Structure 1
Amino acid sequence: MSKFRFKKSSYSEPTGECVEVARNVPRIVAVRDSKDPSGPVLTVSAVAWGAFQATLLGDM
């Protein structure tokens, strides 16, 4: 499997409490806690991630 290249969320708190997301692997989105980069990684399909984002943006 390819290595994930994580990017910190643009909504990151100044204290660094946020998630990092990697979208460089086709059809997979990986998410991790920015405070624990060697910790667990959640992977979801790109379709599921898009639905999750749409739900969040719909609530704003």
Structure 2
Amino acid sequence: MIHRIEWRKAGSSKIEGECVELSTNATEVTYIRDSKDPHGPRLALRAAGLAALVGRIKSGALDL
């Protein structure tokens, strides 16, 4: 079965598209992409992986 991916951008994102977008379709995987390159690579994470990534970003453990 092919799922149509719908993308969500944070409300605080700049109009120029300087952000990441998350997929909002109801599957087991959340996709993340660079909004400036919508046809480029995507990161696919299950719920636990997404939670771990967000936790590391919030803690400052990643140099972003």
Could you tell me how far 1:14 is from its partner in structure 2?
Answer: 5.3
* Alpha-carbon distance in 2 for matches of 1:14, 1:23: 20
Structure 1: stretches of 5+ with no match in the other structure: none
Q: Does 1:41 align with 2:42?
A: yes
Name the TM-score, length of structure 1 as normaliser: 0.72
What one-letter code is carried by the residue in structure 1 that aligns with 2:46? S
* Alpha-carbon distance in 1 for matches of 2:48, 2:12: 21
Partner residue, 1:28: 29
- Write out aligned runs for 1:1-60 (5 A): 1-13=2-14, 15-59=16-60
Number of aligned residue pairs: give it.
Answer: 59
Contact 1:4/1:25, CA 8 A, preserved across alignment: no
What one-letter code is carried by the residue in structure 1 that aligns with 2:43? L
Name the TM-score, length of structure 2 as normaliser: 0.69
* Alpha-carbon distance in 1 for matches of 2:38, 2:13: 15
What one-letter code is carried by the residue in structure 2 that aligns with 1:58? S
% identical aligned pairs: 32
What one-letter code is carried by the residue in structure 2 that aligns with 1:31? I
What one-letter code is carried by the residue in structure 2 that aligns with 1:48? G
